[in-house]
Amino acid sequence: MRELALRFSGHESGHFTEVWSTAPGGLVIGLVVFRLSRWTYRKPLWFLVPTAVVSTLLGVALFGLCLGFADWMRGIPNRIGWAVVVQSVHACLWGVLFNPIQWGLFLLAIGNHALIRHVSRIDAGR
């Protein structure tokens, strides 16, 4: 599996790229987004649309932040640390906002929030 990841990343030198090292942060990002958007599940169903948009953008920005820190820690000389981090956040947000293929993430987020809303109401009823 590691060899396949290295081949796809274009780095066969034995080091994972930032994206592969940032992937475990997805669990933490998911929990943060859930905790911040949990209050919206008591609102009307239409409220899931703006919740999905905001939570998707927040999750993508947090992933870009993790990606930027992973890139910064690679120790490449002659780079400005904070600029590396900010550039990664901007690149991730740009990709999700201006790449039509990625707009499906907003629809998935609506479905995900609807499912969690339904499950949380079932748990609250017990």
| 93, two tokens | 């947000």
At residue 15, the pLDDT reads: 47
Burial of 53 (0-12, 13-18, 19+ CB in 10 A): middle
Tell whether 2 is covered by a domain.
Answer: no
Tell whether 7 is covered by a domain.
Answer: no
Tell whether 79 is covered by a domain.
Answer: yes
pTM: 0.79
Tell whether 12 is covered by a domain.
Answer: no
**Residue-number span of the structural domain to which 110 is assigned:** 22-125
Tell whether 17 is covered by a domain.
Answer: no
How many domains is the chain partitioned into structurally?
1
- Confidence band, pLDDT 50/70/90 cuts, at residue 3: low
Tell whether 14 is covered by a domain.
Answer: no
The 10 Å Cβ neighbour count of residue 3 is 9
Tell whether 8 is covered by a domain.
Answer: no
Share of the chain above pLDDT 90, in %: 53
| 81, two tokens | 């640390």
Tell whether 13 is covered by a domain.
Answer: no
Q: Is the pLDDT of residue 31 over 80?
A: yes
Rounded mean pLDDT of 64-90?
88
